[in-house]
Amino acid sequence: MDTVQGLVSVVKAMVPRGAYFVPDQQFNMFHNIDRELYAVLVMNLCRDPVESLHCIALWLWLERVGFKKVVTKLLSLPRVLVNELADEALACLGVIHNEKDSPLSTRRNDTPLMQRLIDSELALPFFAKHRLIAVRGLAKLVNEVCMRALKDIMQQAVERKAHQSLADLSLYHQQQQQQHPRQVQVQPPLAARVPTPSPPRVQFGSLPAAAQTNEVHPDDRTIFLTFSKGYLVHEWEVREFFTRLYGNCIESLHMQDVMPNEQPLFARIVCQSPAAIEYILNGNVKAKFTINGKHVWARKFVPKRPKPASPAPPPPPFNLPVSLGI
C-alpha cells in the first residue's frame, strides 16, 4: 500500500462509526503479538512502561499507514536490536510531539534500523511533515487500543519496578547497618532514596516542570469530563488513566456529588497548568477517551461567572432654594 494512501486511510479511520463492545479476553487475543512485544520491552528490557506503550502505538500507526508487519518483524529480532529500535521510536515521537521544527527533523539518517526494518527511507522529516495526522492517529491508538490491550502488563511492570526499588533500598540499609552497627538510623544518599511508588510519567511530550504552576486561577486550568449514563466511571479510574498517560498533570479531581445509589455523570479535573489542557485535548475543543472500555468526553471547563451588578442610578440633582440667592 502506498504511504500516501495509507495516511488517507488513517484520516478516514478517525471518523467515528458505530461501535460495539468486544470482551477484554477477545480483545487481548487479537492484539496478542502487540502484547508480546510490549512484554519484551518492559519485562525483558526493563524499559519505562509508559514510553514503551507509546512505542507500540507508533509501530501500530506505521502498520496502519501502509508499512506491513512492523510488530511481527520486531518480535523476530534480537533483544538488543529491539532496544535500539525503541530508542529510535522515541526520537520519532519527540519530533511528532514537538510543535516547532528542530534540527533533528532535517536529518535523514537518524533512524537507520527502522529504515532497514520496514525497507523504506522513512526518517524523522516524514514524522515532522505528517505531524498532525500522526498526533491524532497515535492518540486514537493509545486511547482505544494500547491502554486497553496492555494495561495488565503495564501494571505488572510498574509493580515489579516498585518492588525492585524497595528491595534495592532494603539491601542498601543492610549494608549500611553492617558498616555502621552503632548507628541507629542511616540516611541513604539522595541517589538511593526511593519515593512511594506512583504511576510513571510520560518522558516525551509531557509538560516541562517550569510550565506547571498554579498561579493561574483554577477555573482557567480545568477540564470538564462527561460520562455515558449506564457506564459507571470511578474516580480512581479517571485519576489512574490521566496520570499514566500524561504524567503528573492533576492538581485535584472533583466528581459529581451524587447519592450512594446514583452514577456521577460528570467530573472536573483541575490541571497543574493551562498548558496541560492544550496537551490533553491536543488543541481540540472536545476530545474522546476510552477508560476501561467506557467512553469519556473532555472539554475545557467554562465557569458560569456571575453577571456584574448594574450600577446604581445617579441621585437626582439637588436644587437649592431660590431664596438663598444662588
- Per-residue pLDDT tens digits for 248-279: 888 999 999 988 888 999 999 999 888 888 88
CATH number of the domain where residue 259 is located: 3.30.70.330
Is the domain of 122 the same as that of 222? Answer: no
Q: How far apart are CA 48 and CA 193, in angstroms?
A: 19
On whether residue 273 sits in a domain, the answer given is: yes
Is the domain of 157 the same as that of 243? Answer: no
On whether residue 10 sits in a domain, the answer given is: no
On whether residue 37 sits in a domain, the answer given is: yes
On whether residue 319 sits in a domain, the answer given is: no
- Cell numbers linked to 163: 518492588
Single-letter code of the amino acid located at 215 = E
Is the domain of 26 the same as that of 129? Answer: yes
On whether residue 172 sits in a domain, the answer given is: no
- What pLDDT score does 111 carry? 86
Q: How far apart are CA 168 and CA 32, in angstroms?
A: 33
Q: How sure is the predictor about 226, in pLDDT bands with cuts at 50, 70 and 90?
A: very high
What's the pLDDT tens digit per position in 264-319?
A: 999 999 998 888 888 888 778 888 888 877 888 999 988 776 666 666 666 665 55
Phi, psi of 140 (to 5 degrees): -65, -45
Which residues span the domain enclosing 251?
A: 218-300
Q: Which is higher by pLDDT, 192 or 118?
A: 118
- Longest CA–CA span in the chain (Å) reads 110
Q: How sure is the predictor about 31, in pLDDT bands with cuts at 50, 70 and 90?
A: very high
- What pLDDT score does 70 carry? 94
Is the domain of 161 the same as that of 37? Answer: yes
**Using DSSP, how many helices (H) and how many strands (E) does the chain show?**
13, 5
On whether residue 193 sits in a domain, the answer given is: no
Return the bridge partners of 286, or none. 299
Q: How far apart are CA 122 and CA 131, in angstroms?
A: 14
Total-model pTM = 0.51
Is the domain of 150 the same as that of 226? Answer: no
Is the domain of 222 the same as that of 159? Answer: no
Return the bridge partners of 227, or none. 296
What is the average per-residue pLDDT within 131-145?
90
Is residue 34 scored above 80 in pLDDT?
yes
Q: How sure is the predictor about 177, in pLDDT bands with cuts at 50, 70 and 90?
A: low
Q: Mean pLDDT score of the chain, rounded to an integer? A: 76
- What pLDDT score does 195 carry? 39
What is the average per-residue pLDDT within 212-226?
80
Is the domain of 223 the same as that of 289? Answer: yes
Which residue in 278, 288, 224, 280 sits closest to 16, CA to CA?
A: 288
Phi, psi of 243 (to 5 degrees): -70, -40
Strands (E), 185-264: 222-227, 250-255
Is the domain of 141 the same as that of 236? Answer: no
In contact, 202 and 52? CB cutoff 8 Å: no
**Structural domains counted in the chain:** 2
Is the domain of 95 the same as that of 226? Answer: no
Is the domain of 135 the same as that of 252? Answer: no
- What pLDDT score does 5 carry? 52
Single-letter code of the amino acid located at 106 = T
Is the domain of 161 the same as that of 223? Answer: no
Is the domain of 152 the same as that of 238? Answer: no
Is residue 206 scored above 80 in pLDDT?
no
- Helical (H) or strand (E) element with 270: strand 266-271
Return the bridge partners of 290, or none. 295
Q: How sure is the predictor about 12, in pLDDT bands with cuts at 50, 70 and 90?
A: very low
On whether residue 311 sits in a domain, the answer given is: no
Rg (CA), the chain: 26
